Structure 1
Amino acid sequence: MRTSPLDRVMDAVATVREDLAAAHRRDPAATDDLAILLTAPGLHAIWAHRIAHRLWTRGARLPALVLAQGVRSVTGVEIHPGATIGRRFFIDHGMGVVVGETAEVGDDVMLYHGVTLGGRSMERVKRHPTVEDGVTIGAGARVLGPVVLGEGSQIGANAVVVKDVPARATAVGIPATVRTGAAHAEEQVDPAIWI
């Protein structure tokens, strides 16, 4: 069923509103919609990616790549037009974020600056991560290869992830390991400390 131009505009407006609400939820500095709309490079990058992805999937690959590269030079965020990204995706600060061609990102995912969702293969296969719903990836983290980050998992700042991370787990370190509960209650810390 084809949608009318008005329906497409209304869908786009609803998506922008969702993105603004996500920014308010995830960024304590985000207090004013107009300021967010005009100054959030992570949001500008995802909005442009949605256009580039639509071009890419319709076969207009060169224009999609040119748009993606232009956005990279303006925002510091490089998202390949082939990457699939869900709703309410939020990049805080944005600078230095790279999302590869075969990456799949679910809904309600948050990335901090300097995150790479990269590949480890030169083959034309699924070579980038799958990030399930509700994942948070800390500043400077590298997630490499066709690994799966389970729903609600957290990746610590500067971690290098090369293996799957289970749902609702926290992975930290180089190479990243899943951090489990401490043996003594007084040693337990909020997992957000690693993000």
Structure 2
Amino acid sequence: MFKRMKEDMDVVFEQDPAARTYFEVFLTYSGVHAVWNHRIAHAFYKKKLFFIARVISQVSRFFTGIEIHPGAVIGRRLFIDHGMGVVIGETCEIGDNVTIFQGVTLGGTGKEKGKRHPTVKDNALISTGAKVLGAITIGESSKVGGGAVVIKDVPDHSTVVGIPGRVVVQNGERVRTDLDHHKIPDPVADRCKELQQEIDRLKIEIDRMKEGKADYVNKSL
């Protein structure tokens, strides 16, 4: 148990440059507290003591701002950065070395039974405010951009951005592999920029046509 707790704190030092001491991480990092509480709640959940599991889950939510359903399956070295507003649903499956930022939702899309929440594979990163919905899979070492809404499977080693989520990088093409989560390209913004350029070009042509028509009228008079 203590080895796993130290492992959880070690990943904080790897991911967060603000972390200074184990004592600080042990007492003040809500993401670490949420993971530890979830392990306890999940143990009760597996024994079908659902009420106790939910109580532990809700108490943890009250103190950390992170809601993890006790039925969720979480791997090793999960790092939840800040974490306020993070929601992880009942049938979620999260692999090892996954990073989740604040405001992320791993949720369902309806009232269906059975598997209805995402599966997040090893080494994935889900950025601030992203919504991953339904029984879909986020591939190994893939990244979900900030604010994205993902409702379809994401292949391994891919980057997804936008609403709805679109794959903009796969197998290292287009951007460098050590991509920072706040520097992910935005295809929606790129398209808007292209449309604005086209509008500006059309305005210039219309102005020229108006000037040509005015010159023709003046000559006729």
- TM-score strictly above 0.5: yes
Q: Distance in 1 between matches of 2:6 and 2:179?
A: 30
**Is 1:110 the equivalent of 2:99?**
yes
Which residue of 101, 112, 116 maps to 1:127? 116
Alignment match, 1:6: none
How many residue pairs are counted as aligned between the two chains?
A: 179
Distance in 1, Cα, partners of 2:46 & 2:79 = 22
Summarize deviations over 1:119-157 as a string: whole Å, max 9, x none: 012121100000000001000000000110000000100
Question: TM-score with structure 1 length normalisation?
Answer: 0.89
SS at match of 2:59: helix
Find the partner of 2:4 among 15, 37, 44: 15
Aligned-partner Cα distance in 1 for 2:52–2:15 = 32
Instruction: Measure, in 1, the Cα distance between the counterparts of 2:179 and 2:12.
Output: 21
> What does residue 163 of structure 1 align with?
152
Q: How many Å separate the matches in 1 of 2:184 and 2:128?
A: 10
TM-score normalised by L of structure 2: 0.79
Distance across 2 between alignment mates of 1:29 and 1:167: 30
Describe the SS at the equivalent of 1:191.
Answer: coil
How far apart, in 2, do the equivalents of 1:113 and 1:194 lie? 17
Q: Which has the higher contact order (CA 8 A, sep 6+)?
A: 1
Q: Deviations over 1:10-46 (max 9, x none)?
A: xx10001111111111111112110011000000000
- Residue deviations 1:64-108 (CA, integer Å, cap 9, x gap): 001101110110000000000000001000100000000000000
SS of 1:194's partner is coil
Q: Which runs of 5+ in 1 are unaligned?
A: 1-11, 183-187
The answer to whether the Cα contact below 8 Å between 1:138 and 1:157 also exists between their aligned partners in 2 is yes
Write out aligned runs for 1:51-130 (5 A).
51-130=40-119
The alignment status of 1:194 with 2:184, answered yes or no, reads yes
The gaps in structure 2 that reach 5 residues or longer are: 186-221
- In 1, the alpha carbon distance for the partners of 2:54 and 2:107 equals 17
- Between the aligned partners of 1:73 and 1:160, the Cα distance in structure 2 is 26
Shift >6 Å, 4+ stretches = none
C-alpha distance in structure 2 between counterparts of 1:144 and 1:78, whole Å: 16
Distance 1:177 1:112 in 2: 19
What is the CA RMSD across the aligned residues, in angstroms?
1.3
- Higher-helix-fraction structure: 2
